[in-house]
Structure 1
C-alpha cells in the first residue's frame, strides 16, 4: 500500500487571508514525515459558484466543470487537514460551498483541523467536525488552534505563524492521529 495522500486545504479565499502561511507552516512540519505525503490544496484554484446543482453529487452528477475538477481532486486524496479561519462562529462560505460540491469523494477519509481566530477558530472547527461526520469522514481528536493573543499579531503582519514555537508539538500530535486514521481507512477502502 502506498502512503496515504493528505490534502492541506486552504479554506479562505480572501486577499488578506492567513491561510496560506498557516498551510505552508503545517506543510513544513508534515514534510518531515515518511508515513504520509502532502499537498496544499487552495480553494482559490477551484472558483466554484455557490452550489446550484440539481442535487448533491451523491445522487446526480455535477454539471459544473470546476466542481467536477474539485471532486476529482478530493477523490485523489486519502485525508485532509482543513486550515480554516473562523467567520462569525463558523467556517468560511468558500469552504462550506466546497464541502457541499462533493459527497462520495469525502466518504471514509480522515480529517484534521488547524484553525485561527479570536477563539482560536474552535467554533469553526466544531461546526466543521459536524459537517465532516455528515460526509462520513473520521475527524481526529487533536486540533491546532491559534488563539486571539497569538493570532492578532499574525493578522496584523507583526508575526508569522512559524514564530509560534508552541504549535509544532500540537501539529505533530495531530499528524500522528491523522496518520493512524488515514492509513486504517485507506486500507479498509482498498480491501473492498
Structure 2
C-alpha cells in the first residue's frame, strides 16, 4: 500500500544547497512506490508566526496555511530536511512547522540533515528530534546525514562523489525505518484512533 510522505525543507537563502537533498529524497521515495511531496517553506511563504492555523476560525486562515494544514493532516509521515544554522535549527523550517500542531500528531518523522562542512548538520538533527517529539511525532532512529553538500550532487541532482555515494547507500535503511513506522502508526490510528 502506497504511503503519503511530506518532505519539509526550510532554507530561504539565495544559493541554498539543501534543496538538492530534499528533491532527491522526494524522488527516491517515489521510486520506492510512495507518494512523496516537497513542502518548501520559501515557496509556501507563511508569515512569521503570529497565529497558528488552529487559532483561526473555520475558513478564516490564509489560503496557503489552510491548504498545508489539509496536506499535513492527510499525510502518513514526514521527512524534515534541515541544515544547521549556527549550531541550531533552520529558522524558515521552524517557522513553517510552528504554524501547526494537531495535524502532525501520532505520525512518524525522519530527519535528514546536511552541512557545508564535515559535521553533516548533526546538531540541528539533535535539536529537531526534541522539537518534533514535543509536537507529537515519533522520530525514527535512523538518521540521514550529509556532509559537504556543495559537492555531493551532480548537475542533474544525482548523488556524486564520496559523500553522495555514502548518502545513496544510507538511504534504503533510512526509508525502511520511516516506512515501518508509517505502516505501524497508520494501522494503529485505523484500529483505535488517537490515544486521547
Question: Into which bin does the TM-score normalised by the smaller protein fall?
Answer: 0.7 to 0.9
What secondary structure sits across from 1:145 in the alignment?
strand
**What is the distance in 1 between the residues matched to 2:103 and 2:31?**
27
The 5 Å alignment of 1:3-152 reads 3-34=2-33, 36-53=34-51, 56-57=52-53, 60-61=55-56, 63-65=60-62, 66-117=64-115, 118=117, 119-147=119-147, 150-152=148-150
The question of whether the paired residues in 2 share the 8 Å contact of 1:57 and 1:104 is answered with: no
Q: Is the 8 A contact 1:29 1:172 kept in 2?
A: no
Instruction: Note the aligned Cα RMSD (angstroms).
Output: 2.3
Find runs of 4+ consecutive structure 1 residues off by over 4 angstroms.
157-161
Name the one with the larger helix percent: 2
Q: What is the DSSP-based 3-state SS (H/G/I as helix, E as strand, rest coil) of the residue aligned with 1:9?
A: strand
1:112-168 deviations in whole A, cap 9, x for unaligned?
A: 111111321101111111011001101011111112xx335459x999661011112
Distance 1:154 1:179 in 2: 25
Unaligned runs of 5+ residues in structure 2 are none
Unmatched 5+ stretches in structure 1: none
**Structure with more relative contact order (C-alpha pairs < 8 Å, separation 6 or more):** 1
2:53–2:66 contact (8 Å) kept in structure 1: no
CA contact (8 A) 1:50 1:97 kept: yes
- After TM superposition, the score normalised by the length of structure 1 is 0.85
Q: Secondary structure at the match of 2:103?
A: coil
TM-score between the two structures when normalised by the length of structure 2: 0.84
Q: How many pairs are equivalent? A: 184
